[in-house]
Amino acid sequence: MTDDVSTHAAQEVDAPQRPRDAASVARRLEAILLVVDEPQSLVSLATAVGAPVPAVRQAVESLVADYDGLTGGPRRGFELREVGGGWRLYVRADHDDLVSEFVNTQAPSRLSQAALETLAVIAYKQPVTRSQVASIRAVNVDSVVRTLVSRGLITELFTDAETGAINYGTTDALLVNLGINSIDELPPISPLLDDGADGFDAEIVR
């Protein structure tokens, strides 16, 4: 009996602490939502913050109302939006130009090698998800994708209705920088590239 009690006590100590009130759930949700790159389902969010799905749903609704200025506070410059069955923080549409201008002035003039490689994968593979790009490059591409989006070289094309994954593609700004009229004018992938070509569909190798 003593061993059972000790084991149960140890499990309680090791188990993640569940938030005890709605405010705590909301604060934990905000922390997670600030770092995610793709919309998260209520189940995923509930798992992340260690709270029941109904409590997370209620907290999400309260955050939406808070950010929209419906609870007495100011309307925020960002919003919590449901996209493709998941939730993610977005800049409000009326601030898009402001944010784009700011990010572009802060961005360095040259892209890193990692950014160039990621941009090449997206250009040839589009539409493509972040996880697919990461699989092809065999590295995490989260920050690189954010950089390319902020530079206006790639954009979110659509969100997969089943997985919630965002599909990316190139923009007209890339065409301007490359001096071409269409993405079809990109040079063919060299047949000498063995491992680098494994991740591409056969039809794009001309």
State the Cα–Cα distance between residues 16 and 26, nearest whole angstrom. Answer: 17
Mean pLDDT computed over 103-122: 80
The first and second tokens of residue 91, run together, are 């800049």
pLDDT above 90: residue 200: no
pLDDT (tens digit per residue) in 44-79: 999 999 999 999 999 999 999 999 999 999 999 999
State the Cα–Cα distance between residues 18 and 70, nearest whole angstrom. Answer: 28
b (16+ CB within 10 A) / e for 175-191 = beeeeeeeeeebeeeee
Q: Are the beta carbons of 159 and 39 closer than 8 angstroms?
A: yes
State the Cα–Cα distance between residues 112 and 114, nearest whole angstrom. Answer: 5
Amino acid identity, residue 106? Q
- How high is the pLDDT of residue 20? 57
Mean pLDDT computed over 183-200: 60
Does the reported pTM lie above 0.85? no
pLDDT band at 108; cut points 50, 70, 90:
low
Q: Are the beta carbons of 114 and 143 closer than 8 angstroms?
A: no
With CA atoms as reference, report the closest residue to 154 among 127, 135, 180. Answer: 127
Q: Which of 20-29, 32-41, 111-120, 191-200 has the lowest mean pLDDT?
A: 191-200
pLDDT (tens digit per residue) in 143-181: 899 989 988 899 999 998 888 899 999 998 888 888 788
DSSP secondary structure letters along 40-85 = B-HHHHHHHHT--HHHHHHHHHHHHHHHTTTTSSPPPSEEEEEETT
